[in-house]
Every structure is written in C-alpha cells, then in structure tokens.
Amino acid sequence: MRSFRYICIAVLFAAFFLTGGCLPSPPEGTGGRSITLFGFSIMKEALEKEIVPAFVVKWKREHGEEPAFVSSFAGSETITNQILQGAPADVAILSIERDADRLVEGKAVTHDFHQSPHKGIINKTPFVILVRKGNPKGIQDFPDLAKPGVQIIHPDPVSSGGAQWSILSIYGSELKKSEAETGTADSGRALRTLQAIWKNVTATPGSAREARTSFETGYGDALITYELEGLLMKQAGAAVDMVVPKSTIFSEHPAVLIDRNVDASERPMMEAFIAYLWSDDAQKAFVKYHFRSVTNESFNDANKEFADIEQPFTIEMFGGWSKAYPEIIEKVFRDQVQKK
Amino acid sequence: MSTNLSKVRHVRGFDLVKPFSITAMVAIMLPLVFLPLASIFIFGTSSGPQKFWDALMAPEAIFALKLSIVTSFWATVFNVFFGLFAAYVLSKYNFWGRNALIVTISLPTAVPTAVAGFALLLLWGPYGILGRYLEPHGIQIMFTATAIILANIFVTFPLAFGVIKPVFDTMNTSLEEASATMGATRWQTFWYVTLPSLRGAIVSGALLTFARAVGEFGSTILVSGNLAQRTQTAPLYIFAKFNEGQVEAANAIAIVLVVFSFLIFSILFIARDWLETE
C-alpha cells in the first residue's frame, strides 16, 4: 500500500514535470522573423482579419519570406506606456497623435512621423452616441446626455485615447454649434455641457473596447464611442441604436515605427508594413471594418452604413494635439470638469 | 463548549444544529461563491458545446494555457525549494533580525499585484535599476516568459514557506537529536528524519503556490507585454477576450481554470491525507 502511494505520487510529479517543464514554442514565420504590433483596442478586427494576412501574402510573394505577426491590443495610453517601459513593439497604431508624440519624447521613436504620408494618420472615424434600442431616453445630441437619470459609460481618459476624443468631441461640438448659431464660439457653454454630461458618467472602463463590453452586457443608457464600434455592434445584432450628433469630431489614428526596437535588417519589412496601411487594399479593408479612408474619400462610398455628419470637425479646430491636450484635456477637463 | 451545545439542542435524539448549520453555510456560500462559479459555466457554454470546444481549441487559447502552466511550474519549483530552505533556517536558528525576515517573506501577499508588477518593471525593465545594465548586453528580462516567472515567484513567495514553517516549528526535535547522537550527519538527519515529516506540507505548499500562480493577473499584465502566443497567459487571454466582447471564449478558458483548480485542490486534499497518515 505504501509503495502504491509513492508510485502514484511519482507518476503525478513526472506528469507535472513533463507538462510544465518546457515553454510552448510560439508560431514562427518561414523566415523566422516577426513583426510585433501594438494596437489600440478597436484596431483588432480590421488588422487581424484582413490587413495583416493580406500583407503576409504580399510580402511572401515579393520576398519569399513569411513574417509572423505578434500582436497586443489595449487602450492607446496603456500600450504607449508599455512601449515607453520597454515593451518590444516594432509598430504601434495609436488612437491619438499625442501618444505618438510621447513615444518621440521617450526616444522610442526617433524619426519625424509627421513627415510620413498623411502626417502618419492611417484612418479616421467620427464619434457618435450609442443608446439602447428605441432610444428610450430620447437622446438626440450631446446635451441630451446631461438629462437627469441618463447613465453614461465613458472610457477612462487616463488610459484610453477614445475617451479623450470623446471629450474633445463634446466640447468641440458645442463650440462649433454656438459659432454657427451666434457667430462666436462659446467656450462657457461648451464647458457647462461637458460638466453636466460628466455628472452622469457612472463607469470609466480602461479602453473604448472595454467600455463597449460593459455597455453590451447591459450596463448604462448611453456610450460615446467611435462610429465603427456602433456599426460593429449593430452588425453583431446588438439591441442598440446609433445617435449621430449634429456636430462631432473625426478621430484620426497614427501608425508609427518604433525605431528603438527595429534594427537595420528588419527595417525594410517594418517600413513596408506601415506603407501598406496606406495602400488601396488596406484602406478598402479599413472601410469594410467601418473605419473611414484617409487616402481616398470615394472608398468611403462603399460603406452604406456611414453616417452623414452635419458639422464635422477635426483636431485642427483646437490647433492640433499639441494644443488640444494641454488646453482642453488638462485645463478644461481635468481641472474644471473632473475635479468638480 | 460545542459538545455541550449539541447535547442541549437535541430534540428527540435528533441534532437540530447539524442540518441548520450546514444549510446556513451553503446559503451563505450560494451568492458569494457558488453562483459566481455557476455563471462562468452558464456563459461559457451558452452557445452550445461546439462553440465551447472551438474556443478551447483556438491556438491562442492553447498557447495561453500552456504558458500559464509552465511559468507557474517554475515559480512553484523555486518557491518550494526556497520555502523549505527558508523555513529550515528561520526555525532552526535564532538570530538578530529573524522576525523582520519572517515578516518580509510574508509581505508579497499584502502587496497589490499591480504594485508587484510595476516594481519588477522598475527593477528589471530596460530603464530599470538593474535592467539598464543588462540591456546593452542584449539581455531582456521584462516582456518575456522569464518576467512572468519572476512575477509569479514574487506574488506566491510566502505560500509554500507559510505552510512548511509551522511544521518545522512544532516538530519534535528529540528525533533529530537522537539521529545526531547515533552518528548521522546533518544531511542524513535532514533526509531521513526531518524531510519525511514535511512531505504533506511540501505537497500542500506546492499545489497552493501552483494554483495561485496559474490565476495570477495583476502583475503579469504589467510585466509580460500581453503578446498573443508569446507572453499571454491564460488569465490575460481571458481578460483580452472579455475586452473584445467575446464573453464565451473568455468563459471557456475560465472553465478550464476553474476545473483545473478544483482538481489541484482535490489532489491536495487526498495527497495530504495520504502523506500524513503514515
């Protein structure tokens, strides 16, 4: 009996050692080289299902080598912080240009990505409001979100780029509308609207995608997010309606090569991948996944679901991210909205 | 006291306290433990067994599970050996600073795991206190499987030690002394006299450490880089799938972890009985 016990235990430990002893080997491309891609949360589907496989086929045809892709997706600020701490990303696709600028400041990116085609921006999408089917709270535009009893899910501006776009969208929308109505942009009205809306925010998940998951599981009455998230949800049959604000921002997403992690021999492949993001094939794939093309507006006609925005604007209205971040996100949102 | 109570509460020879206590216990566990576990099973299999199976067989999922097992395994091996060694040293020898060391070993349980992860980054990261001297030599520890093992070692550090140390403390030293007087070397005494009475504690400590490491999330997400099929462990995979809104895929892996932990703790239970009833 005693020896039986020992045999059992020995077998158990042997099994333990055999299964636990050695690391599983990651999949490798034929050339053994890989591209490590860090993307902000909503980039996943378009990249993984269309663009990456298409690039692999193209590169293999032209160079006879099949690169492996390794990817990580999270909030834009989160992946930027990981890269700044040394994460081995070769290419980063970020929600906001400010994060690319932070990578430049942290010396992870040493080239001037602003000089890339389209200033480094690979695609764009407007910000919209998602509500429950039938719009029970009667939300037509951003100010309606301030109504009492509306519960808003809003990603956390500390970790999410989408959250910052959303704040700029609300604020800029009021500026734009007041300017159209009275001739002058009313920053007081914009601030009051933002403050009133923020009072109704009941949860701040870490990324736009996490916010969507919370909303999908039935939490909250409204979610401010990228148009493509709304379209993806409707495509998946979620019981939501999309409310298109009269005036809203187009978020623009940059792709940057992380110079620190890319050596000279790998560089041509990484550069080819980034260049591929602006190719007609990639831009059409983005449109298929509800992003809007930045290279050719006529590609956008292919997607019938895209909303018409009456008074659209971009980050340029605030003078670019270098002004928008300190002046709106910090001085207006952080100091006058969040601290109230 | 309790025996008196049960004598008093007997009604016609029937112990009322027993069924009442069991019902109360289960009723308390129901919303706190059973229902949350049940919801994992309900949501993980809500789209039928085929979807569940596909979710489990996804290459990313299999890789994540394997990586979790391997990294937890090495953390367990290290922590059991170290825990045994530390428990031996700290219970055999009395020296200045001994209590401070015992408290320090127990600290990782109280440190939030995110703090643990960040501490490792600040130490071993490419810009960390030590990492910056390794980086020029092409040695990178963070964002690799090694980082996950280090994080697992840190957060599970006190577990094996905590189980083994009390056994050392309460051990009857007369046997060891007898062995020594009979001319056995220190090593012989340890191997033939001390170690056998520790078997149960070692197995418990190992399985506890392993189970805790397999479920580790907070520190891993910071130090691993969360790269699919490279450094994504099972809990990170679950989190990623939740974020993508793929609740079923997330729950499918969660079910594996729950079943796995159940097996581990069952083994723990049986093994401890076996080893201690010599």
pLDDT band at B48 (very low <50, low <70, confident <90, very high): confident
Using the Cβ of B163 and the Cβ atoms of chain A, whether some distance falls under 8 Å is answered with no
Which residues pair with residue A313 across a beta bridge? A249
Q: Is residue A21 part of a domain?
A: no
Average pLDDT over residues A97-112: 94
In the predicted structure, residue A167 carries a pLDDT above the cut 60: yes
Q: Do A160 and A77 meet the contact criterion of CB atoms below 8 Å apart?
A: yes
What are residue B97's phi and psi, to 5 degrees?
A: 90, 5
Which CATH number fits the domain that encloses residue A221?
3.40.190.10
User: Residue A52: CA atoms inside 13 Å, Cβ hemisphere, count?
Assistant: 20
Using the Cβ of A82 and the Cβ atoms of chain B, whether some distance falls under 8 Å is answered with yes
Average pLDDT over residues A90-118: 93
Query: Which residues form the domain of A289?
Result: 34-123+253-302
Distance from CA of A206 to the nearest CA of B (A): 9
User: Mean pLDDT of all residues in chain A?
Assistant: 90
Query: Which residues form the domain of B210?
Result: 48-276
Could you give the 3-state DSSP secondary structure of residue A205?
Answer: coil
Q: Do A315 and A239 share a structural domain?
A: yes
Question: In B, which residues are within 8 Å of A2 by CB distance?
Answer: 278
Q: Which of A299-303, B134-138, B144-148, B211-215 has the lowest mean pLDDT?
A: B134-138
Q: A213 to chain B: nearest residue by CA?
A: B245
Could you give the 3-state DSSP secondary structure of residue B162?
Answer: helix
Q: Do B141 and B16 share a structural domain?
A: no
The CA distance from A218 to A200, in Å, is 16
Most B-contacting residue of A3, A52, A80, A85 (CB-CB within 10 A), to test interface: A85
Q: What is the pLDDT of residues A293-338, one digit of tens each?
A: 999 999 999 998 999 999 999 999 999 999 999 999 999 999 999 8
Q: Do A334 and A225 share a structural domain?
A: yes
Q: Do A109 and A42 share a structural domain?
A: yes
Cβ pair B245:A23 closer than 8 A: no
Cβ pair B228:A72 closer than 8 A: yes
Q: Is residue A1 part of a domain?
A: no
**Among candidate residues B257, B67, B205, the one with its CA nearest the CA of residue B144:** B67
Q: Do A304 and A298 meet the contact criterion of CB atoms below 8 Å apart?
A: no
Cβ pair B67:A24 closer than 8 A: yes
Q: Do A228 and A210 share a structural domain?
A: yes
Q: Do B193 and B76 share a structural domain?
A: yes
Q: Do B38 and B123 share a structural domain?
A: no
Q: Do B65 and B38 share a structural domain?
A: no
Kindly report the pTM of this predicted structure. Answer: 0.82
ipTM of this predicted complex? 0.76
Most B-contacting residue of A72, A73, A78 (CB-CB within 10 A), to test interface: A72
The CA distance from A16 to B131, in Å, is 32
Q: Do B215 and B109 share a structural domain?
A: yes
Number of cross-chain residue pairs from A and B with Cβ atoms under 8 Å apart: 90
Considering its fold, how many domains does chain A have in total? Answer: 2
User: Residue A267: CA atoms inside 13 Å, Cβ hemisphere, count?
Assistant: 6
Q: What is the pLDDT of residues B56-112, one digit of tens each?
A: 899 889 999 999 999 999 999 999 999 999 999 999 899 999 999 999 999 998 899
Considering its fold, how many domains does chain B have in total? Answer: 2
pLDDT band at B276 (very low <50, low <70, confident <90, very high): low
Q: Do A43 and A136 share a structural domain?
A: no
The CA distance from B116 to A217, in Å, is 31
Q: Do A327 and A242 share a structural domain?
A: yes
Using the Cβ of A81 and the Cβ atoms of chain B, whether some distance falls under 8 Å is answered with no
pLDDT band at A138 (very low <50, low <70, confident <90, very high): very high
Q: Which of A9, A24, A82 sits opposite B63 (nearest CB)?
A: A24
| pLDDT for the residue B189 | 85
| pLDDT for the residue A1 | 55
Q: B222 to chain A: nearest residue by CA?
A: A82
Q: Do B144 and B111 share a structural domain?
A: yes
Q: Do A190 and A337 meet the contact criterion of CB atoms below 8 Å apart?
A: no
Q: What is the pLDDT of residues A83-94, one digit of tens each?
A: 998 888 999 999
| pLDDT for the residue A249 | 96
The CA distance from B62 to B192, in Å, is 42
Which residues between 19 and 48 in chain A have a beta carbon less than 8 angstroms from any beta carbon of chain B? 19-24, 26-27, 36, 41, 44
In the predicted structure, residue A172 carries a pLDDT above the cut 90: yes
Using the Cβ of B98 and the Cβ atoms of chain A, whether some distance falls under 8 Å is answered with no
Most B-contacting residue of A213, A214, A225 (CB-CB within 10 A), to test interface: A213
Average pLDDT over residues B112-120: 91
Which CATH number fits the domain that encloses residue B55?
1.10.3720.10
> Where among B29, B44, B59 does a domain terminate?
B44
Using the Cβ of A253 and the Cβ atoms of chain B, whether some distance falls under 8 Å is answered with no
Question: In A, which residues are within 8 Å of B243 by CB distance?
Answer: 41, 73-74, 207, 209-210, 213
Q: Do B40 and B161 share a structural domain?
A: no
Most A-contacting residue of B68, B243, B246 (CB-CB within 10 A), to test interface: B243
Could you give the 3-state DSSP secondary structure of residue A266?
Answer: coil
Q: Do B236 and B109 share a structural domain?
A: yes
Q: Do A163 and A312 share a structural domain?
A: yes
Q: Is residue A2 part of a domain?
A: no
pLDDT band at B1 (very low <50, low <70, confident <90, very high): very low
- DSSP classification of residue A206: S
Q: Do A90 and A160 share a structural domain?
A: no
Q: Do B250 and B181 share a structural domain?
A: yes
Q: Do A269 and A285 meet the contact criterion of CB atoms below 8 Å apart?
A: no
* Burial of B95 (C-beta count, 10 Å sphere; 0-12/13-18/19+): exposed
Question: In B, which residues are within 8 Å of A27 by CB distance?
Answer: 59, 229
The CA distance from A206 to A165, in Å, is 14
Most B-contacting residue of A48, A52, A76, A82 (CB-CB within 10 A), to test interface: A82
In the predicted structure, residue B245 carries a pLDDT above the cut 80: no
Distance from CA of B227 to the nearest CA of A (A): 5
In the predicted structure, residue A288 carries a pLDDT above the cut 90: yes
| pLDDT for the residue A14 | 72
Q: Which of A112-126, A311-325, B55-69, B168-182 has the lowest mean pLDDT?
A: B168-182
In the predicted structure, residue B116 carries a pLDDT above the cut 70: yes
Average pLDDT over residues B219-237: 90
| pLDDT for the residue B2 | 47
Q: Do A175 and A195 share a structural domain?
A: yes
Question: In B, which residues are within 8 Å of A87 by CB distance?
Answer: 143, 225
Q: Do A211 and A268 share a structural domain?
A: no
Which residues between 215 and 244 in chain A have a beta carbon less than 8 angstroms from any beta carbon of chain B? 216-217, 236
* Stronger pLDDT, B2 or B138, i.e. the higher one: B138
Q: Is residue A27 part of a domain?
A: no
Q: Is residue A18 part of a domain?
A: no
Distance from CA of A28 to the nearest CA of B (A): 10
> Residue holding tokens 């408290």?
B103
Q: B59 to chain A: nearest residue by CA?
A: A27
Q: Do B147 and B32 share a structural domain?
A: no
Q: Do B140 and B32 share a structural domain?
A: no
Q: Do B194 and B239 share a structural domain?
A: yes
In which region does residue B261 sit, left (phi positive, over 0), alpha (psi from -120 to 50) or beta (all else)?
alpha
Q: Do A129 and A70 share a structural domain?
A: no
Q: Do A288 and A222 share a structural domain?
A: no
Using the Cβ of B227 and the Cβ atoms of chain A, whether some distance falls under 8 Å is answered with yes
Residues in chain A: 340
